[in-house]
Structure formats: structure tokens, C-alpha cells
Amino acid sequence: MTDQIIRRIWPIAPISLALALITLLMIVVGANPLTVYQALFDGSFGGREQSLSTLAFWVPLLLCSTGLLVTFTAGLWNIGVEGQMIAGSLGASAVALMVAKPNPSIPGWVILPLAIVVAMLSGALWAALAAILKTRGRIHEIFGGVALNNLAAIATIYLISGPWQPPEGGSLRGTVPFPTQALFPLMGTSRFSPLSLILALVALVLVALALRGTFWGLKLKAQGKNLRSAFLLGVPSEREAINAMMVCGALAGLAGAVRVLSWFDSLRQSISGGIGFLAILVVLLAGTRPLWTLLIGLFFSALLNGGTFVHSRVQLHSSLSGLIQGTLVLFVLLLGDYTRIFRRKKTVMEAISDHE
Amino acid sequence: MFNKHKAVLLMLALTLMLLLSACQQAATATTEPVPTEDVVISIPTTPPVIEEPTEAPTEEPTAEPTVEPFIFGMVLVGPKNDHGWSQAHYEAGQYIEENIPGAKMIVFESLNSADKPEATLEGVVSDMVSQGATLIFTTSDEFEEDTTTVAANRPDIIFINASGDDTWDQRPNLAVKPPANLGNVMGRMEDMKAIAGCAAALTTETGSIGYLGPLINDETRRLTASAYLGARYCYDNYREETPGELKFEVSWIGFWFNIPGFTLDPTEVANQLFDGGTDVLISGIDTTEALDVAGQRAEKEEAVLAIPYDYEGACDKAPEVCLGVPFFNWGPSYLKIAQSIKDGTWEQSFEWLGPDWADMTNPDTSHVGWVNGPALTDDVKATLDTFISGLADGSINVWTGPINLQDGTEYIADGVEAPDPLIWYLPQLLEGMTGSSK
């Protein structure tokens, strides 16, 4: 019983340990941890603008994490989520620049859904590439994903320094601002779009339900547990792997659209902002549990948003957030899997019940 | 099966850590050569300094007038200790703090999508405003567009964008009206770059000068071209060489400073230029790689020299190979702006400010300058001084025609002095320069 409880709240352990270590570090460098945490809070939830900014950063993170729930369940390490997000941004930007800009008469309720669909398709196709490399080319999805991430980043640089370069030229900063009808409707002067959050939450609920209560979810789980057995028992593993990757890619693509169509108003270099990698960390920490995914994602978004505030207010280096993040990665890898630490050996039945 | 799983996990762990740290590494890479002192800044002392005066009762019988706090923001594209562009701005902020009682700067370093993917100019500005800032300097071409957007949303805050042209009455797109609370400042660096080019041309043994460029835009084209024009003038007029034989090779890295994975590595590019026969390398980027590389190669007995950029103290990093540095001194112009805002007399303006020819290193009067480096020999120094005094009294203007663009078309006719807009908006590199124009 207590064992159950400990397992449920286990994701807190690495976070608390990391925070304890960071607090110690702050004291060592002569910073007052209370001031810093206060600034972190003020910068993330201290006011309307800060809260909205935290939410705006959270949405694409949530979308990517949701997608990763699918691939992790299927036993796939979709490192390529970052590239799939970039592919989505490129797709959305293409619609904004090549459809919306020359045709200002097309209303937003046509353009925005179109941009979203194209973004999701681009992300899904980019993911399918990694999946096919794996199933047909026997290239592990980690390596395929890393390569495709780089390709997507290079494509961004090419586009903003080439065909989509602003007329004044020169900079690698990004494209010209998109016309407003192509953007998500934003709250006030913030970069937060309630619509994008609704889409993300719907996606999370659907994925959670699908993984839990559908035959498809069961097939993915079986595949994730043991690919060969699942195959022998009749799961079309190649097809399901590609499907899982494409679902994740579509959600990551939507995240990319949110980045260009609400967080920014144009395509920028490093548009993904490392959110895909952060999402991997979130899902690992959450142990593929949807509710924890939601909460931990929000925590990270607050941490990163607060980090910039700490930098300008306390003049403490803003890599503090990066430091906390890095420490977390370390602790998650050390302590992340509760069962692995406390039960070195387990029976098949136990292993199955662990994942119920 | 289980072992394989473990191996994959291990691989993932390594990859993930590598990748996660990749974004942060950009920051580390640019700050690398500098001690990490900025982490140790003690916090508790700063806030009370500004709080005190406001809380002091007004009827206090001291003769000193009550000091009103004046808070301003300084947004930097790179680290504040980069020995280059960003440090020059940071120190201008300190100059305001020294000269206006009660002035306090809020700094935000390394605002660029590689170092701080989670930060936007909008977010940074809103943080600064919530801390009381009424004036915000956005000190990079990178922020030009975002500054305009943010300024339009916050009409009560004054924004100064360094290097931008939004408020210039000679800009091409006059139809686009800038927000009323936006101003621009830029240093007239062109003559200083010409001096740098001249110093390089007077020193080169191989007859080949390299230029380590950032990204390609109007600003970098005109500065690179200015260095070339200065070099050509001095090579043709002061040296016993065949005029026109000077080689001037430009390599661009793709951004203002090194961002691993996004730009070419400036260290590598600098090495390539030296390998290709260049013996004097002029830097156009925000950081000091050109000088660093020259210093390393000089240690291996190579006869190479370099000219850094942006920051008066840039030579410090490898003085023995430093011919000098053309630098910005943003202090006086920023102070004037801050003072006028404090007095309520600020008016929107575009400032393109030159040197104090009588004393180019005067911190209070000269907006740009050139300082000789330790590697400059006395002979060269004397010739360079002739060139500088020619620029000062107007007898030399390197932007005098005939000047042709790189594709051969005539840009400035024979004997004509180029007007400001033609210099500012130079569309290509010039004939005689090697390197891409776009």
C-alpha cells in the first residue's frame, strides 16, 4: 500500500533532490535562495503577463509531451520530436507566407486551420521518415531522429537566409512578420492563445483515453513491452510503429505551428527552442503518465520563464534554469525508474502489474 | 533483451544530455574565455540602493536634493563580458549609472534564440517595466523589428534601438512610420574601419588582408567596404607596391557571434583565412576570435596580426598581435538620451555619431574611436597618423569615387563623395573584394 503511494509520487523525488542541490549551490555562490525563488515565482506566475507567458510556453511543450506518450508507450525513442516540431513550423510558415500573405482577403478562419493541418502533416511526414528509416533501413530511431533534427534546422536556416529572407536582407533572425489572419488569436498583448491550449488539452485527453481504453493502445503497449512477441502474436508492428511516430509527429507539428503562429509572429532560427528535448525529459520524469506529464510540463515552463526574470532582477546568470534542468536530467536518469531502483529482479507477473 | 534495453537507455542518456546541453553551450562558448565572475554577483546589496531615496522623507534637512530613482533596461544580444559589441553597450549603461544620480541599469544578456530559446524581447521588456524601467536600450540589429512591435504596445516607455534606421528621415521606406517612443543611435564607424584597413594594408607582408565578417546586411557590408577602402587607399598611396595588387578576402560566419550548429565556427574561419595566405585579419564580429586565433598562431612563430572590433579594451586578449581596435563608445549618446528623458525633453531622433577627431579616446566626447595596438610599429604608426589627420581635416575621404560595386557597376562616380544613404545602404561589396555580397 505505502509502496503504491511512494510509486505514485515518485516523480517528485528527482525534482526535490535537484532543487536541494541547486539551493546549496546558490548559497555557495553567495545568492539568497529565497530571493531567487521569489524572483522565479514572480517571473512565472507573479502577474497576468508572466502567467500568460508561462502558459504560452507550456502549450507546445504539452503537445510534444503528449505525442511522446504515444511513442514511448510503443517503445520508440522519438528523439526526432524536435525536428518534427521544426517541420511543423516550416509547414505553418509556408501557409502564412505563401498563401496568407499574397491573399489578404482570405479570412483567418480559413487560413489558420489550413496552417494547422499543413503543420501537422509536415510533422507527421517528418516522423514517418524516421519510422521508415527504422523499419526498412534498420537505422535506430535515435540516430535517424538526430539526423532529421539537424536537417530540419538546416532547412530553417536555408529558408530564412534564402527564399524567405526579408527584403532588407542580411540577418539570420527570421522572416518578416506574418499577416495577422494567419496567427492564433492572442490574449491581449501576450503571446498566449487560449485556442492553442484547448487544442493541446484535447490532444492529451484523447491520447490518454486511446492508450488506456482502445485496442490500438493495447497493441502499442504490447509492442512497447516486447516487440518480437507482439509481432508473433499478430500485432502488425511495422505499421503500428509508423502510426505511433506519425501521431507524435503530427502533435509536434502542431506545437511547431503554435511556436510560429503565437509565440513568435514569424519563422525564426532555432524555432523549436529545445522544447522537443525538454518534452522527452518531461515524459521520462512523468513515467508516461498523462497527469504528471501535464504538471511537470507546467513546472518546466514556469522554471524557464522565471529564469529570465531571475536574470534581469537578481542579476544571477539566467543559465540558472539550464542548471536546474541539467541537474534534473541527471537525477531523473539516476532515480527516475522507481521499480528499477527498489526491485532489481522482478517476475514477469510483477513486471506486468507494474504497468497496470 | 534486457541488456539491449539497457544499452539503448545508456545511449539515450548520453544523447539526451548532449542535446539538452547544446542550447546552453552556445552561451558557454561565447563566454568561454572569460572568468565566470558574473555568477557571484551578490544580490542583497542592490535593491536597497534604489529603494532608499524614495523612502527618505522629503523634508529631510540635508542640502542634497532627493535623488529620484531612474531605472533603465539594457538588452544585450551577447554576454556583457564579450570584449566586444555587447560589453561596449554594457559599459555605456554603467556610464549612465555613474553620471546620473539614482540611475540604475537592469541588464539582460545573451537574448538570442540559441542562447535563450525561452526568452523573447517582449517578455524581457515586460520584466524590466515591472521593475520600474522607463527607458530601454535594445542594442542589436537583431532586435530592430521586435523593438518596433513592442514599442507600439508600450507607448509610455521609450525604446532606443542601436544600429537601426527606423527613425531616419533618409530611410527608403518612409511610408512606414515608427512609433513615437522609438529612437535610434549608431556610431559612425566607417572612418574607424578605414583606419583599421589602413593599418592592415601598411603592415601586411603577403599583400593579403582577411576580414572575418558576421552576417551579411547593409551595416556589415558598409563596414567591410570601409575597411577595404581604407586599406586600398593606404596600400596604393603609402606603400612602394603596385597599386591594386592588394587582396582583400571576406568570409562571413552567419551571425554576430559563434552559435555552435548555426554559424560557421569563427575560429575555424579565421584559421582558414590565415591558411589561405592572409597575414592580417580584421574582425567584424562581436567577439574576439580573430585576435585569439592570431595570438595562438603567433605563439607558433607565425607572422600574423589581427584587428579586433567594437570594444576599446579588445586588444587585451592578445596584445602582442593586436594592431589596434576601432571601437564604439556608446556612453555619451546614451547618457544624453537618459538625461533628456529624465528632464522630460526627449524627442525622437536618429543619431549617427562620429568621433571627436581631436581626441578619439575621450570617453565623454568621442562616439567612436581607434586605439593603436602594441603590435603597431613606430614607422607604421607615423604613416597611420598622417592618414588619420587626413580623415580628420577632410582632405581624405575614402568614400570618394570612383567606387564600383562587386559586379562591376559604377556606384560612386569619379571625384564624387558618397552621400550618407549610399554608404548606409550599400547593396553589395565593392570591386576588388573577394567574398559573397548576399
pLDDT tens string B38-48: 333 333 333 43
Predicted local distance difference test score (pLDDT) of residue A167: 75
* DSSP-assigned letters across all residues of A155-185: HHHHHHHTTT--TT---SSB-PPPPGGGSPP
Predicted local distance difference test score (pLDDT) of residue A169: 61
**First vs last C-alpha separation in chain A:** 15
**Are B220 and A170 inside 8 Å of each other by CB?**
yes
Locate B89 and state its grid cell. 553597450
Please indicate if any CB of chain A lies within 8 Å of the CB of B13: yes
Tell me if A31 is assigned to some domain.
Answer: no
Do B314 and B350 reside in the same domain of the chain?
Answer: no
Tell me if B37 is assigned to some domain.
Answer: no
Do B204 and B305 reside in the same domain of the chain?
Answer: yes
Please indicate if any CB of chain A lies within 8 Å of the CB of B386: no
B residues 241..300 contacting A (CB < 8 A)? 254-255, 261-263
**Are A308 and B108 inside 8 Å of each other by CB?**
yes
**Are B43 and A31 inside 8 Å of each other by CB?**
yes
Any idea what the CATH number is for the domain that residue B194 is in? 3.40.50.2300
Tell me if A297 is assigned to some domain.
Answer: no
Locate B47 and state its grid cell. 535593491
Beta-bridged to residue B368, according to DSSP, are: B328
Instruction: Report yes or no: B274 and B302 within 8 Å, Cβ to Cβ.
Output: yes
Taking the C-alpha atoms of residue A70 and residue A124, their distance in angstroms, rounded to an integer, is 13
Which of B24, B73, B215 lies closest to A171 in CB terms?
B215
* Total of domains in chain A: 1
Predicted local distance difference test score (pLDDT) of residue B169: 94
Do B139 and B183 reside in the same domain of the chain?
Answer: yes
Do B227 and B139 reside in the same domain of the chain?
Answer: no
Do B297 and B339 reside in the same domain of the chain?
Answer: no
The C-alpha of B302 sits at a distance from chain A's nearest C-alpha, in angstroms, of 34
Taking the C-alpha atoms of residue B165 and residue A41, their distance in angstroms, rounded to an integer, is 38
CA angle (A36 as vertex; A32, A37 as ends), nearest 5: 115
Do B304 and B391 reside in the same domain of the chain?
Answer: yes
Locate A79 and state its grid cell. 528523439
Phi-psi bin for B364: left (phi > 0), alpha (psi -120 to 50), beta?
A: alpha
Do B166 and B228 reside in the same domain of the chain?
Answer: no
Which of B118, B217, B261 lies closest to A170 in CB terms?
B217
Taking the C-alpha atoms of residue B193 and residue B248, their distance in angstroms, rounded to an integer, is 14
Q: By mean pLDDT, which of A282-296, B143-157, B175-189 is the weakest?
A: A282-296
Do B103 and B147 reside in the same domain of the chain?
Answer: yes
Taking the C-alpha atoms of residue B383 and residue B195, their distance in angstroms, rounded to an integer, is 11
Tell me if A330 is assigned to some domain.
Answer: no
Taking the C-alpha atoms of residue A68 and residue B392, their distance in angstroms, rounded to an integer, is 64
The C-alpha of A79 sits at a distance from chain B's nearest C-alpha, in angstroms, of 8
Do you find a cis peptide bond into B419, omega within 30 degrees of 0? no
Task: Quote the domain boundaries for residue B219.
Answer: 190-327+369-434
**Are A274 and B117 inside 8 Å of each other by CB?**
yes
Taking the C-alpha atoms of residue A306 and residue A311, their distance in angstroms, rounded to an integer, is 9
> Which positions ≥6 away from A146 have C-beta within 8 Å?
A79, A80, B15, B19
Rg of chain A on CA atoms, in Å: 21
Tell me if B346 is assigned to some domain.
Answer: yes
Tell me if A6 is assigned to some domain.
Answer: no
Do B391 and B347 reside in the same domain of the chain?
Answer: no
A residues 222..281 contacting B (CB < 8 A)? 226, 263-265, 268-275, 277-278, 280-281
Which candidate in A226, A315, A335, A344 is best for mutational testing of the B interface (most B CBs within 10 A)? A315
A residues 38..77 contacting B (CB < 8 A)? 43, 46-47, 49-50, 53, 57, 77
Which residues of A fall within a CB distance of 8 Å from B261? 150, 153
The C-alpha of B41 sits at a distance from chain A's nearest C-alpha, in angstroms, of 7
**Are A161 and B40 inside 8 Å of each other by CB?**
no
Tell me if B39 is assigned to some domain.
Answer: no
Helix (H, G, I), strand (E, B) or coil at B149: helix
Please indicate if any CB of chain A lies within 8 Å of the CB of B128: yes
Q: Which amino acid is at B216?
A: I
Total Cβ atoms within 10 A of residue B7: 10
Predicted local distance difference test score (pLDDT) of residue A318: 58
Strand bridging mode B368-372 / B324-328: antiparallel
* Total of domains in chain B: 2
Predicted local distance difference test score (pLDDT) of residue A1: 60
* DSSP-assigned letters across all residues of B261-272: TTS--HHHHHHH
Beta-bridged to residue B108, according to DSSP, are: B75
The C-alpha of B5 sits at a distance from chain A's nearest C-alpha, in angstroms, of 10
The C-alpha of A59 sits at a distance from chain B's nearest C-alpha, in angstroms, of 13
**Residue B249 pLDDT > 90, yes or no?**
yes
Which candidate in A72, A143, A172, A263 is best for mutational testing of the B interface (most B CBs within 10 A)? A172
Which candidate in B112, B126, B127, B138 is best for mutational testing of the A interface (most A CBs within 10 A)? B127
**Residue B56 pLDDT > 70, yes or no?**
no
Instruction: Report yes or no: A254 and A203 within 8 Å, Cβ to Cβ.
Output: yes
Domain boundary among B315, B346, B366: B366
Please indicate if any CB of chain A lies within 8 Å of the CB of B215: yes
In chain A, which residue's Cα lies nearest the Cα of B252?
A170
Range from A29-38, A265-274, B51-60, B278-287 that averages highest in pLDDT: B278-287
The C-alpha of A328 sits at a distance from chain B's nearest C-alpha, in angstroms, of 11
Q: Which amino acid is at A58?
A: W
Do B82 and B228 reside in the same domain of the chain?
Answer: no
Domain boundary among B341, B366, B391: B366
Taking the C-alpha atoms of residue A9 and residue A75, their distance in angstroms, rounded to an integer, is 23
The C-alpha of B74 sits at a distance from chain A's nearest C-alpha, in angstroms, of 9
Tell me if B49 is assigned to some domain.
Answer: no
Locate B228 and state its grid cell. 577595404
Do B323 and B201 reside in the same domain of the chain?
Answer: yes
Locate B433 and state its grid cell. 573584394
Tell me if B416 is assigned to some domain.
Answer: yes
Tell me if A270 is assigned to some domain.
Answer: yes
Strand bridging mode B433-434 / B368-372: unpaired
Tell me if A88 is assigned to some domain.
Answer: yes
Q: Which amino acid is at B118?
A: E
Tell me if B291 is assigned to some domain.
Answer: yes
Which residues of B fall within a CB distance of 8 Å from A48? none
The C-alpha of A3 sits at a distance from chain B's nearest C-alpha, in angstroms, of 24
* DSSP-assigned letters across all residues of B350-393: EEEE---TT-TT-TTT-SEEEEE-TT--HHHHHHHHHHHHHHHH
Q: Is the dihedral of CA B333, B336, B341, B344 positive or negative?
A: negative
Tell me if B11 is assigned to some domain.
Answer: no
Which of B27, B217, B255 lies closest to A319 in CB terms?
B27
φ, ψ of residue B251 in degrees (nearest 5): -125, 130
Do B301 and B402 reside in the same domain of the chain?
Answer: yes
Locate B240 and state its grid cell. 612602394
Task: Quote the domain boundaries for residue A125.
Answer: 59-290
Locate A43 and state its grid cell. 517571473
* DSSP-assigned letters across all residues of A215-226: HHHHHHHHHHH-
Residue range B384-396: average pLDDT? 96
Element (H, E) at A75: none
Residues in chain A: 356
Please indicate if any CB of chain B lies within 8 Å of the CB of A200: no
Which residues of B fall within a CB distance of 8 Å from A330? 17
pLDDT confidence tier of residue B433, bands split at 50, 70 and 90: very high
* DSSP-assigned letters across all residues of B13-65: HHHHHHHHHHHHHHHHHHHTTS--GGGG--STTHHHHHHHHHHS-TT---SSP
356 residues of chain A, pLDDT tens digit each: 677 777 777 778 887 888 888 889 888 888 888 888 888 898 889 888 889 999 999 999 999 999 999 999 999 999 999 999 999 999 999 999 999 999 999 999 999 999 999 999 999 999 999 999 998 988 999 999 999 999 999 899 889 878 898 776 656 678 888 999 999 999 887 889 999 999 999 999 999 999 998 999 988 888 888 888 888 888 888 899 999 999 999 999 999 999 999 998 899 888 888 899 999 989 988 888 899 999 999 998 998 888 877 777 776 665 676 777 778 778 877 776 655 555 545 555 555 565 54
In chain A, which residue's Cα lies nearest the Cα of B116?
A273
Tell me if B23 is assigned to some domain.
Answer: no
Helix (H, G, I), strand (E, B) or coil at B70: strand
